[in-house]
């Protein structure tokens, strides 16, 4: 009996080993070059540029105090869990005092004039101070009172008042690269390849302007064993069709830094290039109709609710987004899973004004508000957004015509759109997407608090303001989450913004590219750190 049991256990073990072998075969391999076709970054100094391209390029080179989870560390693409980077741990000493303990022995890239010296608290203080004086994004650090180097490996950041989103900004690779001051002394700024000296996973080896940038593995990277790739090459390619052709021809592995392809592009790749791996992603995207809620007719909640009820989101998703989109893209985007309350979890009587479809009820509401025959409104927008956006405008006009509202589509030139309509300077109504942020505060406080430039709908709601402020000051993650959920419950039937479906994206790359995981932050270097080539 015992022998039989032993045999069974042995057989089971063998079977398990056999089943596990494909997993074993998936052990990351070192080596290889990953090529990316992408537009050129306008500048290499992360504090002198506010472009996401600059911040993505230089994220290969620089580290931060803390960063977002990536690769094997992340739960999903919208996971903004904060993990150690140059700081191995940190403590919230008081509600306004954060203390960071640096890793010891981390070395800058071995390039003159820094020549691989150790990173200290002084470098961190110098870099954050430089950010606060030079960066176009310096308003992000308005809550900061001071940054102090307590000793060689300890940095203290003192805030003016408790600020829950601050740590997320500190982890955002767009803001807080840690750089060596000698490089600025020698090169005036960091906007040249020789001056790009950091502690990141890759070293910038060559940069031919307008042609290509070559990054090689940092042999002294402080995370042992990473990165896997020998090198990363960005082949500068301004034109989107040329980028896709380069991948089809096997000359690059990614057609942009996120590795995204639109649904249409993805379907085309499926047909023509079966060797390309395609994963469907819910990405940080938000599309909405926004209004002058401070003026008639949109100051009447019944009118706004009628508009929301007139949008056939399901039909829209099936017809335009291959049924792969997310039906209601706000107030918290679908990809921000850790914060979002799905409309199905809200009280149905209120949630119907967020994502419901009921033209008859919409007409009744319009009549009740004094518009039995509807009305005419302009809809300002920029027609240049990538597909399927152009169809969005027509669909809004079509959906609203069914309840008697005539929409006059008003296309605008990009420069005008982004500096007027996008910032709430328009008449009556507008349609468009918004920037993918990494902090839930930006989608709530930014979109709903009075005087914020992204408060496009001119919302001014005293009760809401209290909650928006409260979530900013609440440092306990659980309690803050509860407030953020309350805000979503409160907003469900207000229809300050009418949220449209958001499109999914494909992640596209050849099958031999492994470990490249989508993340909604700007940390290209962190993504590539976990990427490897199976060939």
Partner 1 sequence: MKQYVLRRVALAVPTLFLVSVIVFGLMRLMPGDVATRMVEGHAYAPTIDALRRDLGLDRPVHTQYLEWVQGIVLRADFGQSYWTRQPILDEFVRRFPVTLELALLTILVSVVIGVAVGIVSAIRQDTVTDYVGRTLAILALSVPYFGLAVLVVVLPSIYFRWTPVYTYVPFTVDPLENLKILTVPALVFGVTRAGPIMRIMRSALLDVLRQDFIRTAWSKGLGERTIVLRHALKNAMIPVITLVGLQMPLYIGGSVIIESIFRLPGVGLFFFEALTRLDYPVVQSVNLIIAALVVGLNLAIDVTYAFLDPRIRYR
Interface contacts to partner 1, rule CB under 8 A: 40, 42-43, 45, 48-51, 136-140, 142, 174, 189, 191, 208-212, 235-239, 241-242, 244-246, 248-251, 272, 412-420, 422-423, 434-435, 437, 451-454
- Residue 450: phi and psi, rounded to 5, are -55, 145
Q: Output the CA torsion sign for 505, 510, 513, 514.
A: positive
- Let me know how long the chain is: 535
For the bound state, the minimum distance from the C-beta of residue 510 to partner 1, rounded and expressed in Å, comes to: 12
Pick 376 or 419: Cβ nearer partner 1: 419
Q: How far is the CB of 139 from partner 1 (least distance, A)?
A: 4
Torsion sign across C-alpha atoms 192, 193, 198, 202: positive
Shorter beta-carbon distance to partner 1: residue 246 or 327: 246
Task: For residue 128, give Cα distances in angstroms to 133, 187, 210, 516.
Answer: 9, 19, 30, 30
Contact 199, 107 (CB under 8 A): yes
Nearest-angstrom CA–CA distance, 10 and 394: 65
**How far is Cα 518 from Cα 511, in angstroms, rounded to an integer?**
15
Give min distance, CB of 145 to partner 1, in A.
17
Distance separating alpha carbons of residues 483 and 470, to the nearest angstrom: 7
Question: What DSSP string runs through 209-276?
Answer: TTTEEEEEE-TT-SSTT----SEEEEEE---HHHHHHHHHTTS-SBSSTT-EE-HHHHHHHHHH-TTE
Nearer to partner 1, 97 or 413 (CB): 413
- Strands 287-291 and 497-500, by their bridges, are antiparallel
Closest Cα partner for 481 from 342, 339, 359? 339
> Per the structure block, which two tokens stand in for 68?
């977002």
Closer to partner 1 by Cβ: residue 370 or 512 = 512
Q: Cβ 94 to partner 1, closest distance in Å?
A: 26
Q: Which is nearer to partner 1, 109 or 243 (CB)?
A: 243
CA 337 to chain centre: 13
Minimum CB distance to partner 1 smaller for 209 or for 402: 209
Nearest residue (CB) to partner 1, 127 versus 438: 438
| Eight-state DSSP code of residue 341 | P
Q: Both ends of the chain: CA-CA distance in Å?
A: 48
Q: Which is nearer to partner 1, 409 or 423 (CB)?
A: 423
Nearest approach in angstroms of CB 344 to partner 1 is 29
Query: Least Å distance between CB 161 and partner 1?
Result: 17
Which helix (H) or strand (E) covers residue 9, if one does?
Answer: helix 2-25
For the CB of residue 259, give the shortest distance to partner 1 in the complex, in Å. Answer: 18
Q: Which residues pair with 213 in a beta bridge?
A: 207, 234
Q: Residue 442 or 493: which CB sits closer to partner 1?
A: 442
**Minimal distance in Å, beta carbon 422 to partner 1?**
7
For residue 290, the SS3 value is strand
Kind plus residue range of the DSSP H or E element containing 410: strand 406-411
- DSSP type of residue 326: B
Closer to partner 1 by CB, 86 or 164: give it: 164
CA dihedral 451, 435, 337, 61 (to 10 degrees): -120
Q: How far is the CB of 242 from partner 1 (least distance, A)?
A: 5
CB 419 to partner 1: min, Å = 4
Rounded CA gap, 49 and 139, in Å? 14
| Helix (H), strand (E) at residue 315 | helix 313-320
Provide the token pair at 357: 């479809």
Smallest gap from residue 265 Cβ to partner 1 (A): 12
Closest to partner 1 by CB, 155 vs 246, is 246
Closest-CA residue to 407 (of 374, 437, 432): 374
- 214 within 8 A of 236, measured Cβ to Cβ: no
Nearer to partner 1, 100 or 166 (CB): 166
Min. distance of Cβ 151 from partner 1 in angstroms? 32
Q: How far is the CB of 449 from partner 1 (least distance, A)?
A: 11
What is the enclosing helix (H) or strand (E) of 389? helix 389-401
Q: How far is the CB of 334 from partner 1 (least distance, A)?
A: 18
Preceding omega of 128 cis (within 30 degrees of 0): no
Dig out the tokens for 371 from the structure.
Answer: 């518009």
Q: Which is nearer to partner 1, 84 or 378 (CB)?
A: 378
């Amino acid at each position: 009996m015992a022998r039989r049991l032993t045999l069974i256990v042995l057989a089971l073990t063998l079977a398990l080993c056999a089943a596990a072998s494909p997993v074993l075969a998936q052990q990351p391999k070192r080596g290889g070059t990953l090529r990316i076709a992408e537009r050129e970054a306008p500048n290499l100094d992360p504090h002198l540029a506010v472009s996401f391209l600059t911040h993505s390029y230089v994220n290969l080179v620089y580290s931060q105090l803390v960063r977002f989870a990536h690769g094997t560390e992340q739960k999903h693409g919208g996971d903004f869990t904060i993990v150690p980077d140059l700081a191995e741990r940190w403590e919230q000493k008081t509600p306004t005092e954060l203390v960071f303990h640096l890793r010891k022995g981390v070395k800058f890239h071995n390039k003159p004039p820094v020549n691989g010296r150790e990173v200290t608290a002084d470098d961190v203080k110098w870099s954050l101070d430089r950010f606060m004086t030079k960066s176009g994004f310096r308003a992000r650090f308005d809550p900061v009172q001071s940054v102090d180097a307590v000793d060689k490996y300890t940095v203290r950041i003192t805030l003016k008042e408790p600020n829950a989103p601050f740590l997320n900004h500190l982890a955002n690779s767009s803001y807080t690269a840690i750089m060596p001051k000698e490089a600025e002394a020698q090169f005036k700024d960091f906007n040249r390849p020789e001056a790009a000296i950091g502690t990141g996973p890759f070293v910038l080896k060559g940069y031919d302007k307008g042609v290509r940038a070559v990054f090689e593995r940092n042999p002294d990277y402080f995370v042992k064993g990473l990165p896997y790739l020998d090198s990363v090459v960005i082949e500068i390619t301004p034109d989107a069709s040329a980028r896709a052709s380069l991948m089809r021809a096997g000359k690059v592995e990614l057609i942009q830094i996120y590795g995204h392809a639109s649904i249409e592009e993805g379907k085309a790749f499926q047909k023509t290039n079966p060797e390309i791996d395609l994963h469907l992603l819910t990405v940080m995207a938000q599309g909405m109709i926004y209004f002058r809620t401070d003026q008639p007719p949109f100051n009447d909640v019944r009118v706004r609710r009628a508009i929301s009820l007139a949008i056939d989101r399901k039909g829209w998703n099936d017809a335009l987004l291959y049924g792969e989109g997310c039906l209601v893209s706000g107030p918290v985007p679908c990809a921000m899973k850790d914060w979002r309350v799905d409309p199905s979890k809200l009280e149905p009587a209120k949630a119907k004004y967020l994502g419901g479809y009921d033209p008859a009820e919409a007409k009744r509401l319009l009549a009740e508000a004094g518009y039995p025959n509807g009305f005419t409104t302009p809809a300002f927008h920029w027609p240049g957004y990538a597909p399927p956006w152009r169809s969005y405008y027509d669909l809004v006009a079509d959906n609203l015509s069914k309840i008697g509202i005539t929409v006059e589509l008003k296309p605008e030139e990009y420069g005008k759109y982004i500096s007027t309509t996008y910032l709430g300077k328009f008449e009556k109504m507008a349609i468009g997407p918004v920037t993918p942020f990494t902090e839930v505060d930006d989608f709530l406080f930014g979109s709903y608090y009075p005087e914020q430039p992204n408060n496009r709908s001119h919302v001014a709601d005293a009760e809401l303001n209290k909650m928006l402020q409260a979530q900013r000051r609440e440092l306990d993650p659980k309690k803050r989450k509860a407030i953020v959920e309350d805000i979503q419950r409160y907003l469900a039937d207000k229809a300050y913004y009418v949220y449209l479906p958001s499109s999914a994206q494909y992640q596209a790359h050849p099958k031999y590219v492994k470990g490249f995981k989508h993340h909604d932050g700007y940390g290209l270097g962190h993504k590539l750190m976990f990427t490897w080539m199976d060939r």
